[in-house]
Amino acid sequence: MVSSKKNFFKFIAMFMQKKYSLFFLPITFLFISTVVVCPEEILIPGDKKIEDGFFELSNKNKVEKELHLYVTDGYQEMADGELVYFWGYTHAKDFSDVGEIKTKEERDTKLLPIKVPGDEIRLTSGKNYVIVLHNAGWYETEKHSGINHVAHTIHFHGLDLIPAVDGVPNLPYSSVFPGEKFRYFLTIPEDLEGSYMGHCHVDTTNHLMAGLYFPLIIQKNPNEIYGYKFDREYTLLMSEVDSEYMEMLRTEGNIRRGLDWKSNYFMLNGRIFMDNLINPLSTINDPKTRIVAYEGETVLIRLMAVGYNHIYAWHPHGYHGLVIGTDGRKLSSPYEKDTLLIGSGERYDILYKIPDFSSKRGCLSCNYGPGISLAHDHNMMGMVSQGIYPHGPQTIFDIRQKSVKPEK
């Protein structure tokens, strides 16, 4: 090896004495810097090496859980009766492995229908996880649609991971094509907690906006975050969709029309509010979106946003929330807000203390007590899905008396 290196440099020296060496000089240096200076190994080691390193780092060889996520397409009914074509992360019961999906029949029998956003994933600090992404393929598209063979990834938004499991295509791994799968090895640090998201990072304008996102929660202890205790928690993910653009993807699949996107639905946990209060698909009739609490309790809201260009303005009537964390970090100086702007990718952890009405009512008109009050997007564009007010990201705080038995 030593002698071959010697010969190599001897050859370069001889070459440099030739007249035409000036012409080749830049190429020569480029060659030398590539072969001699850069390491022979590729930047990121292969899948097996990542796995070995993962187990070595984890120090226990123990995986807390292996979760299987499947990407496919489908329809979601909105509260105004419209069926919107979406892409989504879904799964089988308990996120178990049901193998590769090859037909629509297999998909519909083995997997839950897609939901936008995808179901929340909750991981525990200090544990190891393997998340397996399966591309289950498209089954609702026109045959000639340009999206029939697209690939996907999972980007764990906010977790600051190494490139190998960061979900950016070809950095260094190819994204996951129909029929393929990919394993993401995650070691969650002991000191990490908070609110995060997962989303696809392939052709992100199309894949993210089409519905490929889900809330990801890192929890140290139940009913506690950043040292604060709470009684109940709600994850509220605000997002937008252009149902006409989605229909274009389904039929034609021209992914180069990203700038044509014009959202006509603004959603809270994938739903819109309806003025018909008993509409079962409305935000307020979803137990994950209607904020129910009892006098004297503390409620944590994990607010998240996914968007094209909409900035949401989260505004609960009657309550100032204490913002204690953002983007997976504890705030050293928490602050109170009744209107909180949130843009695509951001997360806020907000505590709402519901006073005990009987002992802490401050004034006759203060809205602290049992009853219902509104919470909505104060960016008015968001409050007009399909052009109709108040069909947007709006829900209610439903505060109940202590004497009524709480439903945990």
Q: Is 152 an interacting residue with respect to Cu ion (CB under 5 A)?
A: yes
Q: Which stretch binds Cu ion (CB under 5 A): 39-47, 102-110, 146-154, 283-291?
A: 146-154
Toward Cu ion, which CB reaches closer, 50 or 209?
Answer: 209
Candidates 120-128, 192-200, 355-363, 393-401; binding stretch for Cu ion (CB under 5 A): 192-200
Query: How many Cβ atoms are within 10 Å of 256's Cβ, its own excluded?
Result: 9
- d(CA 271, CA 274) in angstroms, rounded, equals 9
User: What are 81's two structure tokens?
Assistant: 């009766």
Name the minimum Å distance from CB 201 to Cu ion.
Answer: 8
200 forms part of the interface with Cu ion (CB under 5 A): yes
Please report whether residue 209 would count as binding Cu ion according to CB under 5 A: no
Q: Is 208 near Cu ion (CB under 5 A)?
A: no
Tell me how many residues contact Cu ion (CB under 5 A). 4
Q: Which is nearer to Cu ion, 306 or 323 (CB)?
A: 306
| CB of residue 111 to Cu ion, shortest distance in Å | 17
Closer to Cu ion by CB, 136 or 202: give it: 202
Determine the Cα–Cα distance for residues 63 and 54; give it in Å rounded to an integer.
10
Which lies closer to Cu ion via its Cβ, residue 213 or residue 368?
A: 213
Closest approach, Cβ 4 to Cu ion, in A, equals 46
Closest-CA residue to 79 (of 385, 356, 368, 317):
385
Question: Does residue 246 interact with Cu ion by CB under 5 A?
Answer: no
Distances, alpha carbon 64 to alpha carbons 80, 122, 185, 197, 331, in Å: 41, 12, 11, 20, 29
Q: Which is nearer to Cu ion, 136 or 396 (CB)?
A: 136
Kindly tell me which of 178 and 328 has the beta carbon lying closer to Cu ion.
178
Is 202 near Cu ion (CB under 5 A)? yes
- Cα separation, 86 vs 49, whole angstroms: 36
Task: Please confirm whether the linkage preceding 390 is cis (ω < 30° from 0).
Answer: yes
Residues of this chain that bind Cu ion (CB under 5 A): 152, 200, 202, 207
